[in-house]
Amino acid sequence: MKLIIKLLKDLKYEVMNGTTEGGITDLVYDSRKVTRDCMFVCIKGAVYDSHEHVDEIAAKGAKVIVAQKKVKVPPQVTLILVPDTRQALSLISAAYFDHPAEKMKVIGITGTKGKTTTTFMIKGILEHAGYKVGLIGTIETIIGDRHIPADNTTPESYLIQEYFSWMVEAGCQICVMEVSSQGLMMHRTAGIPFEIGIFTNLAPDHIGPNEHASFEEYASCKSLLFRQCKLGIANADDEHFDTVLSGHTCRLETIGFSEKADYRASHMELIRRPGYLGVKYHVSGKISMDAEIDVPGVFSVYNSLTAIAVCRHFEVSEDDLKEALKTVKTRGRIEMIKVSDDFTLMIDYAHNAMSLESLLNTLKEYHPERLVCVFGCGGNRSKLRRYEMGEVSGRLADLTIITSDNPRFEEPQAIIDDIKTGIGRTNGKYVEICDRKEAIRYAIRHGQKGDVIVLAGKGHEDYQEIKGKKYPMDERVLIQEILEEG
C-alpha cells in the first residue's frame, strides 16, 4: 500500500470528495488497466479524455481519482482536483516509485537533431570509464542487459519513473535521456532533478496540428529544461541559443567552434579510408586534447564535443575520452557496415527532407566518386514528404535507388511514384526497385571504387510495416544475407 497523502506531497491540490487518509494499491492512468483500490489520474488526450469516463473507472474499483476539472464521483471515491493532471501524474509517479531519480545523476538532452547520437556517445564514454549507465531515448530504453523498444522519444512520466526505479535496482549510477519538446510540454519530465541539461541545436520541426502550434512554442518548450537542471551545456554556435537559454536558472557552459565557447573545436579534418569516414579535431578551453571519431561530418564534432563536456564533469580521463570516442556507435545513425574495401556503405535513419539533405551534404564533403542513396517513404503519411525527399536525393545524390520503406496501408508502387515526382524536378539519375532487399543487393552489386552508399530511412528499425502488421526486416541482416548468397 502507498499512502495517499505521501503521493500528493509535492502537488497543489484540493480534496473535492472523500479523504486522503489510507493508501492505494496501484497508480493507473489508462482506463483499460484500472485495478481495485488504485489511484487513477485522468488524462485528456487528442482523442480520448478519461474525465468523461469517471463512472466506468469508479465502477471498476478506483479508490482515488485525480482530475483537472470537477467530475461527479460516487460517495466512497476520493476526488482530488489539480491544475494539470499531466504534471500531477509526473509528480505522483516519482513519489510512487520512491523518487528514483534522486538516487542517480540524470542527464537530459534536448534539441532538434543530435539527441540520439549524443546520448549513446555519453553512455559509451561513461561506461568505458567504469560507470553503470541507463539510457532512455528514441530507439530504446537500456537498463543493464534489458533493451525495451521505444514508442516515444520521451515516454509517459509514469514509465520514466518506472524505468528510473529499474535502473536504481540494476545499480545504475547515471541515466542519460532524450528530452523532447513534446515531453517537456506535456510535463512528462516534471519534477526530475536533472544534474545536466543539454541543448544541441534548433530548427523548424514538429510544428503542426498534433505537435506545436508555432516555432516560438517549440523553442519555448525546449527552454524549460534549463529551468530544471543544475548545469546547462549548450551549443553556442546555434542561432537560437539566446532564445532557448532565455530565463535559464542553471549554471551554464558552452560548446562550439566559437571563440567564446568553453569547449572549442578547431583544426577540423575529414578522414577517409577504405570503408571508413570520420573526423578529427582539437579541443581547447576547459580541456586541451585531440579527438577523433568514426562518424563523419561537422555535426559529429558538435555531438562529440558535447559528450566530452559532459563526461569531464564525471572526471573521465583524457585517455578514456579518446579511446571511447573512436569506438562508440549509434545503431542506425550513420552506422557504417563494412562490405568492401572499394566503397563505403552505411545505414541512417534520415526519413524526412531536412535530415536527408543534411546527411547527403555531409557525405558530399568527402568527395565520393559517386554518392548513392537508397530510400523509400512511409505510407499513410504526407505526400509532400515524398516529393521533398525525392527532390533532395535527385539534387544531391549521383544515383538514387527508390524502394519501399513502411508502406503501411498504401501500395508501395504508389509511394514510389510520388517520390519519382520529386526526383522529376531535378536532373538526378534513378532506378526503382520495390523490394528493399533487392534494392540493397543492387546497390552492393553495382558499388564502384570510391562510392559512398547510404541506406536511408529505416535506421534502427528492424521491421517493415505492411497492412497493419510488422514483419521482421533488419537491414544489417539483409546485407549479411546478400553477402552470403554471393
pLDDT at 208 exceeding the cut of 60: no
pLDDT at 486 exceeding the cut of 90: no
**Locate cell 578522414: which residue?**
271
Q: Kindly provide the b/e burial profile for residues 408-442, where b requires at least 16 CB atoms within 10 angstroms of the residue's own CB.
A: bebebeebbebbbebbeebebebebbbebbebbbb
* Predicted local distance difference test score (pLDDT) of residue 117: 94
Report the share of the chain in percent with pLDDT over 70.
Answer: 98
> Residue 314 — very low, low, confident or very high, per pLDDT cuts 50/70/90?
very high
* Predicted local distance difference test score (pLDDT) of residue 211: 61
Give the pLDDT mean for 407-426: 97
* Predicted local distance difference test score (pLDDT) of residue 366: 97
- Domains in the chain, CATH or no CATH each: 2-85 (3.40.1390.10), 100-327 (3.40.1190.10), 335-485 (3.90.190.20)
Round the average pLDDT of the chain to a whole number and report it.
95
pLDDT at 311 exceeding the cut of 90: yes
pTM metric for this prediction: 0.92
Segment 101-134, tens digit of pLDDT: 999 999 999 998 899 999 999 999 999 999 999 9
* Predicted local distance difference test score (pLDDT) of residue 213: 63
* Predicted local distance difference test score (pLDDT) of residue 205: 55
pLDDT at 308 exceeding the cut of 60: yes
* Predicted local distance difference test score (pLDDT) of residue 242: 95
CA distances from 85 to 81, 95, 98, 185 (A): 9, 15, 19, 13
* Predicted local distance difference test score (pLDDT) of residue 212: 61
Segment 140-163, tens digit of pLDDT: 999 999 999 998 888 999 999 999
Cell numbers at 28, concatenated: 493507473
Give the pLDDT mean for 255-271: 97
State the sign of the Cα–Cα–Cα–Cα dihedral 238, 136, 346, 466.
negative
> Residue 262 — very low, low, confident or very high, per pLDDT cuts 50/70/90?
very high
Helices (H), strands (E): how many in the chain? 15, 26
The burial class, CB within 10 Å (0-12 / 13-18 / 19+), for 150 is middle
* Predicted local distance difference test score (pLDDT) of residue 446: 98
* Predicted local distance difference test score (pLDDT) of residue 215: 77
Segment 339-392, tens digit of pLDDT: 999 999 999 999 999 899 999 999 999 999 999 999 999 999 989 999 999 999
Segment 20-42, tens digit of pLDDT: 999 999 999 999 999 999 999 99
* Predicted local distance difference test score (pLDDT) of residue 204: 62
